[in-house]
Amino acid sequence: MARIFSGIQPTGHLHLGNYLGAIRNWVRLQQDFECLFCVVDMHAITLWQEPQALARATRETAAAVLAAGIDPHANILFVQSAVPGHAQLAWIFNCVARIGWLSRMTQFKEKAGKHRENASVGLYAYPNLMAADILLYKATHVPVGEDQKQHLELTRDIAQKFNNDFGVTVFPVVEPLILGPATRIMSLRDGTKKMSKSDASDFSRINLTDTADDIALKVRKAKTDPAPLPETPAQFDGRPEAANLISIYAALADQEVERVCARFGGRPFSDFKQELADAAVAVLAPITTEVNRLMADPAALDRILKDGAERARALAAPVLEEVYRAVGFLDA
Ligand code: TRP
């Protein structure tokens, strides 16, 4: 039986990229698999977070997942820090993974930047915690984007080394789940940069909290080029903004990029932008309304998350027992 684990970092200001790139895929997975969806607040604090903002972002991210259509009864939706097994297994993996393996992680290099000596130890060990997330439930499949592939490879290496070191077969080999052509949503101001909450310009992204008017304005102001819309994806070369807007439309309308090109190719951007704004509002407005409704009743939201954490703990308990026995720890 396939079991899926996926994590999303709690970031305030969720945007269209988070929705189309991750959350929406989860909604599709829940029909076919047993799924655990986790808001990974422990990963978030590898970079300093203002505590109240973190708590709010954790709820808001969970609310967005629910609003997008995840059924919390059919799946397990929970917050990472509510299940201590993640930290317990991560420590053991800190002792299994090699410093050399972690030193090769490109995400660490990017996030630590020039001040590597000053980065938290947690940021360095981040992939070990991610491996613990996945393996604590013996998940068999993890939906991954390009940026997390290296971390998933490391998870496989850790699982194998653990099994080898202790002469057991506790952990399965985890497979990546590549979900069709990756939807990489780029900035509305620069088609070569990923849409990001940390971009200085709010016009670079469509937030899940934007009103219909905000969305229409941002789409109208989105960067384009003077040529009419490309007629085929082959004409995307050198036109990152056109490629991005068409990809966004295709994702929102759930259509092939080719079809979108065939429909709008040769027409001016002004026509297309109107339709793009309408499509974005049609998809996001109901989600935004539902996020706002859920955020207005944090106690109800917390009950859903608490129930998820209880069920996650129950799944984790026997795995952790097996790990303890393999390592030589006395029963917890
Ligand atoms: N590192 C992932 C990201 O930044 C989030 C994450 C944490 C995750 N644990 C995970 C994703 C386990 C998949 C499986 O996107």
pLDDT digits (tens, 9 = 90+) for 255-275: 999 999 999 999 999 999 999
Q: What's the alpha-carbon Rg for the chain, to the nearest Å?
A: 21
Tokens in use for 216? Answer: 């229409």
In angstroms, what CA-CA distances link 111 with 18, 121, 130, 227?
19, 12, 16, 37
- From 3, 4, 8, the mutation candidate for ligand 1 (largest count of ligand atoms within 8 A of CB) is 8
Write down the pLDDT at residue 12. Answer: 78
Q: Which range, 10-19, 151-160, 206-215, has the best average confidence (pLDDT)?
A: 151-160
Q: What's the 148 CA to ligand 1 centre distance in angstroms?
A: 7
- The whole-number average pLDDT for the span 306-325 is 98
Residue 13 banded pLDDT, cuts 50, 70, 90: confident
Cα of 140 vs centre of ligand 1, distance in Å, is: 15
Cα(101) to ligand 1 centroid in Å equals 18
Alpha-carbon span 14 to 12, nearest angstrom? 6
| CA 8 to ligand 1: nearest atom | 5
**C-alpha 14, offset from chain centre:** 11
Q: What local confidence, expressed as pLDDT, does residue 179 receive? A: 73
- Distance of CA 300 from the midpoint of ligand 1 (Å): 26
Strands (E), 130-179: 141-143, 175-177
Is 197 known to be catalytic?
A: yes
pLDDT-based confidence at residue 61 (cuts at 50, 70, 90): very high
**How confident is the model over 272-310, as pLDDT tens digits?**
999 999 999 999 999 999 999 999 999 999 999 999 999
pLDDT, residue 181, reads: 57
pTM given for the model: 0.93
> Which residues does ligand 1 sit against, CB inside 6 Å?
5-7, 9, 40, 43, 130, 133-134, 142, 148
Among candidate residues 111, 138, 218, 306, the one labeled active-site is 111
Say whether pLDDT at 332 is over 80: no
Q: What is the pLDDT of residue 1?
A: 79
Output the average pLDDT for the chain.
Answer: 95
Q: How large is the average pLDDT for residues 151-166?
A: 98
Share of the chain above pLDDT 70, in %: 99
Query: How far is it, in rounded angstroms, from Cα 13 to Cα 146?
Result: 22
Per residue in 102-116, pLDDT tens?
999 999 999 999 999
Mean pLDDT to the nearest integer, 171-187 = 84
| pLDDT bucket at 52, cuts 50 / 70 / 90 | very high
